Structure 1
């Protein structure tokens, strides 16, 4: 299997998931949240997985109300990202990078400020993530075993979340896959359309991304800016 075929497989997996009955939940979010890069004989996918994603996953998996409430309360403390870095070997087999191989090559900025990966995570959150990441791993088929999840702090001094899918914000991740590869930059702008819903141009009525400040066709400043 070539890196190109692997990349197509990932894209197809996500497309099929988005076209499923869950298209309005985690699949729609995953489509908006994934960033992909093909590098020589490897494919890299990076996801930002905000609180809204985990709530949608808990609901789709029909978790009890108490567990969903726990997700809402506990996950707000964390900025969670996932990385799949799969190298294609000469025999066609896949070799996913480990947490230890990926972590040192990640540079993350939340709303313009650098943020470090946490070493210690609330075990309740780690356990819930292990359960709720099932949907994303399943959508990736055999590649799901290579999904690596990282936790970062996401609360200000007053206990308020710093970055959410429903409010304005910016996440930037630089990642260099392998020792000899250049770093790639992945950017997410919030609010997410899958969370906040699309905007509508007041002039032409076009459907626009939730985070856009202006209509690109008419140059009109959008409501909420």
Structure 2
């Protein structure tokens, strides 16, 4: 069963990347979790893969039942997965990437209390988590094209004293991913996951984290 889920997962990620989903707008969602920083000829990426990622990309795929999606989510539910990249583009178009080992030495997550977390080592991960990552890695790399060659996955454990994940894309909070002398800040909940609101004047759709219409100044109403 798990092998079947993995096979479908690899096909589906490639099909939906860059498309808009019906329930959660996939393009908006990717903007929330994928953060780029460009400085002259250098580019750095932090691509957070929350648990909801799997539900969003499979939400309109009839091949995936809620049970199958839950199986995938359960594998990563206790972890924070970050896909990172740091690259330099030479004047002749040649690209060089920071290696997996070098990125791993400097990447970290800083929670809202300023506590710093470093990535887990392979020996600290279950065979199930490693298996999923090994199967997913080439698919993510392919969908990013040439830049995919320099993408690396890192697994973090960011928990409270009760063993619960401190980072939840549906709950209020924030955290920062730091690598390559950059800081990528995530504010929660993710806007793309919030119900949209509308202006009572022209009924225009507005972002779920806005309280007032930027054009008419009226208080926004939740879409029923």
CA shift at 1:185, angstroms? 2.0
CA RMSD after TM alignment: 3.4
CA shift at 1:53, angstroms? 0.9
In structure 2, relative to structure 1, the CA distance for the partners of 1:141 and 1:76 (3 Å cut) is: same
SS at match of 1:71: helix
Match of 1:187 in 2: 185
CA shift at 1:21, angstroms? 5.5
Counterpart CA distance in 2 for 1:197 and 1:124 is 34
In structure 2, relative to structure 1, the CA distance for the partners of 1:135 and 1:49 (3 Å cut) is: same
Counterpart CA distance in 2 for 1:99 and 1:167 is 31
Q: 1:165 aligns with which of 158, 163, 169?
A: 169
Counterpart CA distance in 2 for 1:169 and 1:200 is 24
Aligned residues: 200
Report the TM-score when normalising by structure 1.
0.70
Counterpart CA distance in 2 for 1:216 and 1:98 is 46
Paired residues for 1:84-163 under 5 Å: 84-112=85-113, 113-119=115-121, 120-133=124-137, 136-163=140-167
In structure 2, relative to structure 1, the CA distance for the partners of 1:203 and 1:50 (3 Å cut) is: farther
Match of 1:215 in 2: 212
Structure 2 unmatched ranges of 5 or more: 1-15
Report the TM-score when normalising by structure 2.
0.70
Larger Rg: 2
In structure 2, relative to structure 1, the CA distance for the partners of 1:172 and 1:131 (3 Å cut) is: same
Using the TM superposition, name which of 70-79 and 49-58 deviates more.
Answer: 49-58
- Preserved CA contact (<8 Å) 2:100 2:152: yes
Match of 1:36 in 2: 36
- Preserved CA contact (<8 Å) 1:80 1:150: yes
Using the TM superposition, name which of 128-137 and 112-121 deviates more.
Answer: 128-137
In structure 2, relative to structure 1, the CA distance for the partners of 1:91 and 1:193 (3 Å cut) is: same
In structure 2, relative to structure 1, the CA distance for the partners of 1:167 and 1:210 (3 Å cut) is: farther
CA shift at 1:168, angstroms? 1.5
CA shift at 1:188, angstroms? 1.1
In structure 2, relative to structure 1, the CA distance for the partners of 1:123 and 1:210 (3 Å cut) is: farther
Counterpart CA distance in 1 for 2:69 and 2:199 is 35
